[in-house]
C-alpha cells in the first residue's frame, strides 16, 4: 500500500473496522473511504456497484459482517447466512471489477471444525463438522474465503483472507443477549457490582477454553499483512495462548471489582470445547501479538465506563 491509496474500510463503525481505521490513520494513510450503511448498504448489490463505480478504491478491507454470540446465531440463522453472503459477494465482486489492486477479507476462527486438533492449523479447514451453534456464520465466512481464492485463481485478483481469533476491545458490542463472551462478562460483573448482587450467573460449565486478541493488535496484524502478504492460503491471527472461560470470568471479576460469587448455568450451551489457533504461519510472516490479556481487559473496561451512555447494542 502507498500513502496516496484510496482505501475503503467496509464496516468502519464496527469493532474490527474502527480499529483498522485507527491503525491506518496512525500510519499516515489519509485517503480513507468511510461509508456507513446510510450511504451504501453492502447487502444491496446495486448500491455497492454505484459506490465502487464512483469511488474506485485502490485497497479494500472487508470487515463488514453481521456478527453475534451463541444466542444471536441460534436465534437468527437465516439472517446470519444470507446477509453475510450478500455483503461478501457484493464487495468482493465490485472490488475486482472496478480495479482494486488488493482486497483483505476478514473471516473468523469459527470456520474450523468443532473438534479440530489443537492448536488449529489453517489446513484443518473443511476437515470436519462445524460447531452447530454458529455454523450459519461459519458457512458464510468459508464461502467468502473460497470466493477470494476463486477470484485469485480465475481472474488474478489479489485477495487475501485472514482468520482472527476471538476479539475484544474498544467499540465492542456489550449487549447481554447478542454479544460475545468477554464484553458480556464485563457488563455483567459491572452491573452486578452496581446493584450489589450476591452472585453472577455464567452460561455453561466454564470449562471451554478460548483465545482472546485485542482488536488493536488485530488491526496491526491486518495492516502488516496487507502490506506484505499476497498468498492464496488463509492466515490465522491470534496470540497462540488460551484461557478457560471460568478463569476469564474470575479475571474480569477482579478487574471490575465485583465482590460476589460466580454461578454456572449448565443448562446453557458451552459451544466449542476449545478453540486455539496455531499462529506459526503468522509469526513466520513477521508479526506477533503484543497486548497482554489483563492489560487489554483493563483498557476495555475503562472504555466501557467512559461510553456506557452510548453503547452499541445490535
The 10 Å Cβ neighbour count of residue 276 is 21
| 165 is an annotated ligand-binding site residue | yes
| 6 is an annotated ligand-binding site residue | no
Is 124 among the residues known to form the active site? no
In 129-267, where do the E strands start and end?
159-164, 166-168, 199-203, 209-210, 212-214, 235-237, 243-244, 261-265
- For residue 119, whether the previous peptide bond is cis, meaning omega lies within 30 degrees of 0, is yes
Among 96, 112, 137, 229, which one carries the catalytic annotation?
Answer: 137
CB 61 within 8 A of CB 148: no
Q: Where are the alpha helices (DSSP H) in 156-180?
A: none
| 214 is an annotated ligand-binding site residue | no
| 141 is an annotated ligand-binding site residue | yes
Secondary structure (DSSP) of 129-141: PPPGGGHHHHHHH
| 14 is an annotated ligand-binding site residue | yes
| 270 is an annotated ligand-binding site residue | yes
Instruction: Show the cell assigned to 234.
Output: 488463509
CA distance 101 to 309: 40
Return the closest-CA partner of residue 161 out of 282, 21, 25: 282
| 15 is an annotated ligand-binding site residue | yes
| 268 is an annotated ligand-binding site residue | no
| 210 is an annotated ligand-binding site residue | yes
| 106 is an annotated ligand-binding site residue | yes
CB 16 within 8 A of CB 33: no
| 287 is an annotated ligand-binding site residue | no
CB 90 within 8 A of CB 105: no
| 144 is an annotated ligand-binding site residue | no
| 108 is an annotated ligand-binding site residue | yes
CA distance 96 to 50: 14
Return the closest-CA partner of residue 280 out of 228, 232, 235: 235
| 261 is an annotated ligand-binding site residue | no
DSSP state, 284?
A: H
| 24 is an annotated ligand-binding site residue | no
Which residues are known binding-site members for NADP(+)?
11-17, 106-109, 141, 164-167, 180
| Active site positions, annotated | 137
Which residues are known binding-site members?
11-17, 106-109, 141, 164-167, 180, 188, 203, 210, 270
Which residues are known binding-site members for substrate?
188, 203, 210, 270
Amino acid at each position: 500500500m502507498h500513502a496516496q491509496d484510496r482505501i475503503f474500510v467496509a464496516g468502519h463503525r464496527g469493532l474490527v473496522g474502527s480499529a483498522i481505521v485507527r491503525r491506518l490513520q496512525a500510519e499516515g494513510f489519509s485517503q480513507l473511504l468511510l461509508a456507513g450503511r446510510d450511504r451504501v448498504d453492502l447487502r444491496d448489490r446495486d448500491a455497492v456497484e454505484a459506490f465502487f463505480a464512483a469511488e474506485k478504491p485502490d485497497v479494500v478491507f472487508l470487515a463488514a459482517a453481521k456478527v453475534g454470540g451463541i444466542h444471536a446465531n441460534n436465534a437468527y440463522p437465516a439472517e446470519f447466512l444470507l446477509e453475510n453472503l450478500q455483503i461478501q459477494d457484493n464487495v468482493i465482486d465490485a472490488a475486482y471489477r472496478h480495479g482494486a489492486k488488493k482486497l483483505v477479507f476478514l473471516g473468523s476462527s469459527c470456520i474450523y471444525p468443532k473438534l479440530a486438533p489443537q492448536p488449529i492449523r489453517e489446513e484443518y479447514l473443511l476437515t470436519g463438522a462445524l460447531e452447530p451453534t454458529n455454523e450459519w456464520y461459519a458457512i458464510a465466512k468459508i464461502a467468502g474465503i473460497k470466493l477470494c481464492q476463486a477470484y485469485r485463481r480465475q481472474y488474478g485478483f489479489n485477495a487475501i483472507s485472514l482468520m482472527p481469533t476471538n476479539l475484544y476491545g474498544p467499540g465492542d458490542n456489550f449487549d447481554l443477549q447478542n454479544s460475545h463472551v468477554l464484553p458480556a462478562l464485563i457488563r455483567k460483573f459491572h452491573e452486578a457490582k452496581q446493584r450489589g448482587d450476591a452472585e453472577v450467573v455464567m452460561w455453561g460449565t466454564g470449562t471451554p477454553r478460548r483465545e482472546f486478541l485485542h482488536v488493536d493488535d488485530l488491526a496491526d496484524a491486518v495492516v502488516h499483512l496487507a502490506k506484505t502478504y499476497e498468498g492464496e492460503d488463509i492466515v490465522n491471527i491470534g496470540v497462540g495462548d488460551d484461557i478457560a472461560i471460568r478463569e476469564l470470568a474470575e479475571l474480569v471479576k477482579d478487574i471490575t471489582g465485583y465482590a460476589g460469587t460466580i454461578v454456572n448455568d449448565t443448562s446453557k450451551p458451552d459451544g466449542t470445547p476449545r478453540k486455539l489457533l496455531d499462529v506459526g504461519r503468522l509469526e513466520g510472516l513477521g508479526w506477533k501479538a503484543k497486548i497482554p490479556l489483563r492489560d487489554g481487559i483493563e483498557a476495555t473496561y475503562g472504555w466501557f465506563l467512559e461510553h456506557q451512555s452510548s453503547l452499541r447494542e445490535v
